[in-house]
Structure 1
């Protein structure tokens, strides 16, 4: 019995040391991540929308020897363009021009004081970047919330999208059908409570199905660093608004209108669903069932194919890059 207690104490101490070590790497990050270096040079496009002056950040990675094609990578809700580094390098090595926006309200882009978020608004802003770069045709890859932006972008600008790739997108189901409504004010109050521990706990359980690797921590620190900054309330407010956008503006009813070739890359351990914690327990168990949702979505999208990645969660391009990039390159290169 004493031996078991000793082992438990040692394990608890080891865990505590690991948590403190991770927290020690935390530093305050300003609202637009001006004190955080991205992997590639950052440019900005300036415009006015809803009486707000918007500065939208983006990166462009040019290949040494181009193949004449572009691919645009759209980030998820709790991320920014920086987490596409490895993907962008691999695509550029294959000759693709890689375009990586930070959506309004995210990363290095403006966090507006007053803004009515919509996927149409984000898609239109993203199109401005392509217009500035004189890109008339591109492959579009969207991860998580970026999958919802990519879907709306494809529906709005079908002549611009050559192919569509959806990597563990959220919004494969209509959350408002199963999740009780929560006001923006309540989303905001919830966001204000975030810290390193709560953010890591959410990602551990929703994204990685309880299986953590040390290299995931830097993506927690990007969010947790904001919570240490005096301007975090404004970041939290924009986050609350985008949660409301995701909840109230489903795209899943329009999948059958997508006409371009589409690839679904779905990590099978993913159980992400917006507002999942708000649903009754019996309903909660049915949310975020990505194995079922992936097959259901493939059946809805004409000319689509599905790649199911077992033992991978919400972030295939972070969790197992080799298994992610192989089907992406094959699909992108198909005539």
Structure 2
């Protein structure tokens, strides 16, 4: 397979989407990042792109509100807005169908895109996705830390360090200072500070829309799905994994020990093997 790497932007429905397009002739795979302060596509999947690009065309966007993309999200229906933006991006680059790999916020966007237009999605990989049972219990401490980043005394490096090292991963000592510095500077974008992309739901209706387990279409979503969840996830509760498998007709669950919310970063080798095998296999799950 011939591999090419390029970075460019597309415009869809008035939204500018920046993306990295890596790989060659393999089936397209879109990697959708999480919603933490200073996040971006390539920084979230830095340990995964090369492995997946050996057999797939890998498309890594900065979702709206992050990186170099438009700094706006519709807070009345954020997951629907993100799904629409990603679908529009695929239209602009001529991709009729893609596998979707989504982490947290990106996992919720991937699942909503599949619910709205299942024919546009091949397989789904959901890592600790948002929107799973969110109306049934109070937020976790990790989610409170995330949602409170721009409130109170505003963003600080100490707040970001606490979120990344205490809540995002199992072993906080593994997070380098350079990563904290990079994400902190990105989080200070004036447009983001004026309109944070991830915030508490603006209304009860918005909160209801954000609980994807209440969507009746979920029980009929037949796309092959691999659910990955760190057993020590402090942002999105690990019991969301069994909940999804109970609701979805064609889903498998892998739960890993000593792993937090950022499974694709903490357990990159395992993630790359599981996801590569799942996406490349003809059946739902590889037996090799």
Which TM bucket (shorter chain)? 0.7 to 0.9
SS in 1 for 2:228: strand
Residues 101 and 126, structure 2, Cα contact 8 Å, conserved in 1:
yes
Paired with 1:73 and 1:155, the residues of 2 have a C-alpha distance of: 17
Deviation at 1:125, TM superposition (A): 1.2
Gapped regions of structure 1 (runs ≥ 5): 1-39, 181-185, 274-287
- Partner in structure 2 of residue 46 of structure 1: 11
- Partner in structure 2 of residue 326 of structure 1: 273
Deviation at 1:152, TM superposition (A): 0.4
Instruction: Give the total of aligned pairs.
Output: 263
- Residue 313 of structure 1, aligned match among 244, 257, 260: 260
Deviation at 1:241, TM superposition (A): 5.2
- Partner in structure 2 of residue 26 of structure 1: none
Paired with 2:101 and 2:139, the residues of 1 have a C-alpha distance of: 27
- Partner in structure 2 of residue 299 of structure 1: 246
Residues 271 and 314, structure 1, Cα contact 8 Å, conserved in 2:
yes
Residues 170 and 258, structure 2, Cα contact 8 Å, conserved in 1:
no
Paired with 1:297 and 1:138, the residues of 2 have a C-alpha distance of: 21
- Residue 103 of structure 2, aligned match among 140, 143, 149: 143
Q: Counterparts in 2 of 1:177-196, with a 5 A limit? A: 177-179=137-139, 190=151, 193-196=154-157
- Partner in structure 2 of residue 271 of structure 1: 234
- Residue 35 of structure 2, aligned match among 77, 89, 92: 77
1:137-176, Cα deviation, whole Å (9 max, x unpaired)? 2111100100100010001110111111101212222147
Paired with 2:281 and 2:59, the residues of 1 have a C-alpha distance of: 20
1:47-71, Cα deviation, whole Å (9 max, x unpaired)? 44xxxx43211111023xx33x111
State the TM-score, normalizing by the size of structure 1. 0.71
Alpha-carbon RMSD across the aligned residues, in angstroms, is 2.6
- Residue 58 of structure 1, aligned match among 3, 19, 23: 19
Deviation at 1:237, TM superposition (A): 3.4
* Bigger relative CO (Cα 8 Å, ≥ 6 apart): 2
Paired with 1:152 and 1:174, the residues of 2 have a C-alpha distance of: 15
- Partner in structure 1 of residue 120 of structure 2: 160
Residues 220 and 248, structure 2, Cα contact 8 Å, conserved in 1:
yes
Paired with 1:80 and 1:313, the residues of 2 have a C-alpha distance of: 19
2:218 aligned with 1:261: no
State the TM-score, normalizing by the size of structure 2. 0.81
- Partner in structure 2 of residue 223 of structure 1: 183
SS in 1 for 2:269: helix
2:89 aligned with 1:129: yes
2:58 aligned with 1:101: no
Deviation at 1:99, TM superposition (A): 0.9
Alpha-carbon spacing, 1:214–1:115, altered in 2? closer, same or farther (3 Å): closer
1:181-209, Cα deviation, whole Å (9 max, x unpaired)? xxxxx968517622111111122222224
